[in-house]
Amino acid sequence: MAAKEKLEAVLNVALRVPSIMLLDVLYRWDVSSFFQQIQRSSLSNNPLFQYKYLALNMHYVGYILSVVLLTLPRQHLVQLYLYFLTALLLYAGHQISRDYVRSELESAYEGPMYLEPLSMNRFTTALIGQLVVCTLCSCVMKTKQIWLFSAHMLPLLARLCLVPLETIVIINKFAMIFTGLEVLYFLGSNLLVPYNLAKSAYRELVQVVEVYGLLALGMSLWNQLVVPVLFMVFWLVLFALQIYSYFSTRDQPASRERLLFLFLTSIAECCSTPYSLLGLVFTVSFVALGVLTLCKFYLQGYRAFMNDPAMNRGMTEGVTLLILAVQTGLIELQVVHRAFLLSIILFIVVASILQSMLEIADPIVLALGASRDKSLWKHFRAVSLCLFLLVFPAYMAYMICQFFHMDFWLLIIISSSILTSLQVLGTLFIYVLFMVEEFRKEPVENMDDVIYYVNGTYRLLEFLVALCVVAYGVSETIFGEWTVMGSMIIFIHSYYNVWLRAQLGWKSFLLRRDAVNKIKSLPIATKEQLEKHNDICAICYQDMKSAVITPCSHFFHAGCLKKWLYVQETCPLCHCHLKNSSQLPGLGAELVPQPHAGVEQNMLQEGTEPANQEHPPGTGMQEGSRDNNECIATRSDSQEGTCDPKEYPSSVKDEACPVEVSLEEKKQK
């Protein structure tokens, strides 16, 4: 069953490729220049070529037929190809009969065939060919009435009956007319089939649009036609034909530079129409997807497919190629200029693929460095891929400097490759720090700050490059040629690569600054307090030689708590809100316990419970704690908490603050 489904999928793509090739040929065909050539030739007197508008209408009819063939359901498409194959077989049968009659007329022998060996050989060969044609036609049409496809055997039967050669020629023409009448009868009997098929298709389309909408209809057609694979196969066929036509006309082997030029010119020849350009776009997308999948497989093996079975990557590179091709008017250029421009565009696409490879490798390499995995093979694969991503972009930038004259755009492209190498260098540096920390068996001080500075340096350089690209694009738009597509590209680039990056970087800086200020506002634990506490850090699970104390009397490493405060501004244990002392003048740090089950659990472990707290039937302590309001406790010199009755009068009445109860019990102990 799986083999049948695969065969149907292959047929679904292969049978639709000719329709796209026909669309491509019709797009290339210039009707005006074609008629000018006809007028200069001997065919100018032919009535078929005297009416230009008739050929122009046939040109549009060809477009319609191509679109119909492209969107036809698979079962009807297979049936149509079988009819076409039957017509070709009938034509082959009549061609065999015509060749046989011509050879008999040239020999001028009208006697019995068994007396002439050459005549007997001609008859036997023609008879075997006609029997094969009849058998294939009956098998294709799935009928046992083989006589329907035997009209072209009449000349052989007449020769076997010793009919004169002049009469055999007439019989051969009669056989051709009879076969033509059969074809016309078949077409006439199925004349309403296209109409009924179009009517049912229109009815189904209307129902789908009414129920699901146009978007669902488009997605359904996209999946049924397998558009990306279809256009990729179409472009690969064009590219293979272009390469074959080149090598079939060349006898001497080409040099390496000649092969590179051949590769670029062949690609340029195969993207001269919108259909071939779409084929190149989808081909690049699949190539990028294959490279990125291979990259992830190299790093993680088969676990890469278990964790991420559908890698939705590769489309970025294809869309990049399409946008650049449309913006530069690629299909309107001459072949040499198109090849030159394609080399730059493909360079940008390769740089994008390398950046996507780095996005895959970066978290895997850092996770491997932070883990305790001692597999040398895993570390070798990670480091070797990073070294490749470090060297290859720099080498590619060097090669583009050798082949092209340097200008601002090439400088921007080269700078993006250099930025990729710098980011890889930063990843390797952090990986080495993780490995050093692993061998030392103790945390490296200010590790988080080092990582932040390394990543921040790369992000700053990336932001500056994006800003330069926008500035150059704006200057070209103002002082150069203005286009709608160019303006849209500049706007999108400004929003995503400049504005959003600036917002993200500023937000990260503010978070770090607030976290540092919070850590500085907290008291540092003394040696006696650490000995009395005698516990590990609840974040990193390491012994504490130094620590800070939160307003809720919890001890943490300053670096660990700072990392936690990057994410949220609460205590990791009791989830009390932490604020800077500058935000509460004269009161110190503010403590706001959030409604969380951990507070009640701590109180249960200490054997206390807030007074006058009712528990509904069937509920526990954790469930009842959800109804408690927030209680603000200000921290005084004696570390005692009090609740503000002005803000929360209903929750404080006849009830002690949970944090206050826990602090008083700790004092009693």
Q: Is the pLDDT of residue 653 over 50?
A: no
d(CA 255, CA 405) in angstroms, rounded, equals 23
pLDDT of 385: 92
The residue-averaged pLDDT of 474-484 equals 72
pLDDT of 310: 46
d(CA 568, CA 391) in angstroms, rounded, equals 39
The residue-averaged pLDDT of 400-423 equals 76
Tokens standing for 623? 């469930």
Contact 494, 463 (CB under 8 A): no
Give tens-digit pLDDT for 44-88: 555 555 555 566 667 778 888 888 888 888 888 888 899 999 999
Place of tokens 């250029």: 333
DSSP 584: S
Q: Check the CA dihedral 25-27-31-37 and report its sign.
A: negative
- Size (the chain), residues: 669
pLDDT of 612: 39
Q: Is the pLDDT of residue 407 over 60?
A: yes
Give tens-digit pLDDT for 179-201: 889 889 888 888 888 888 888 88
Domain ranges of the chain: 193-222, 226-247+259-444, 445-521, 522-573, 579-612+626-669
Q: Does the structural domain 522-573 have CATH classification 3.30.40.10? A: yes
Q: Which of 4-8, 143-147, 486-490, 582-586 has the lowest mean pLDDT?
A: 582-586
Place of tokens 């999108």: 492
Tokens standing for 466? 């994006």
Residue 475 pLDDT grade (very low, low, confident, very high; cuts 50, 70, 90): confident
Tokens standing for 645? 């009755």
Task: Provide φ and ψ at 570, rounded to 5°.
Answer: -130, 165
pLDDT of 229: 93
The residue-averaged pLDDT of 478-497 equals 72
Give tens-digit pLDDT for 592-635: 444 443 433 343 333 334 433 444 333 333 333 333 333 333 33
Contact 351, 413 (CB under 8 A): yes
Residue 651 pLDDT grade (very low, low, confident, very high; cuts 50, 70, 90): very low
Q: Is the pLDDT of residue 416 over 60?
A: yes
| Helix 227-248 with 2-14: angle, nearest 10 deg | 60
DSSP 592: E
- In this structure, the strands spanning 590-593 and 576-578 are antiparallel
Q: Which of 202-206, 406-410, 580-584 has the lowest mean pLDDT?
A: 580-584
The residue-averaged pLDDT of 330-348 equals 87
Residue 643 annotated to the active site: no
Averaged pLDDT of the chain: 76
Of the candidates 495, 489, 459, the residue with the CA atom closest to the CA atom of residue 474? 489
List, in sequence order, every residue forming a beta bridge with 634; answer none if it has no partner.
Answer: 590
Burial level of 175, CB count in 10 A (0-12/13-18/19+)?
buried
pLDDT of 143: 84
Q: Could you tell me which residue, 24 or 59, shows the higher pLDDT?
A: 24
Give tens-digit pLDDT for 238-254: 999 988 888 877 666 66
Q: How many alpha carbons fall within 13 Å on the CB side of residue 2?
A: 0
Catalytic option among 537, 552, 560, 571: 537
DSSP 570: B
Q: Is the pLDDT of residue 398 over 70?
A: yes
Element holding 593 (H helix, E strand) = strand 590-593
Q: Is the pLDDT of residue 409 over 60?
A: yes
d(CA 80, CA 74) in angstroms, rounded, equals 10
Give tens-digit pLDDT for 80-136: 899 999 999 999 999 999 999 999 888 888 888 778 888 889 889 999 998 999 999
Radius of gyration of the chain (CA): 40
Of the candidates 280, 200, 97, the residue with the CA atom closest to the CA atom of residue 89? 97
pLDDT of 128: 92
Place of tokens 């092969």: 259
**What is the DSSP secondary-structure string of 368-426?**
HHHS----HHHHHHHHHHHHHHHHHHHHHHHHHHHHS---HHHHHHHHHHHHHHHHHHH
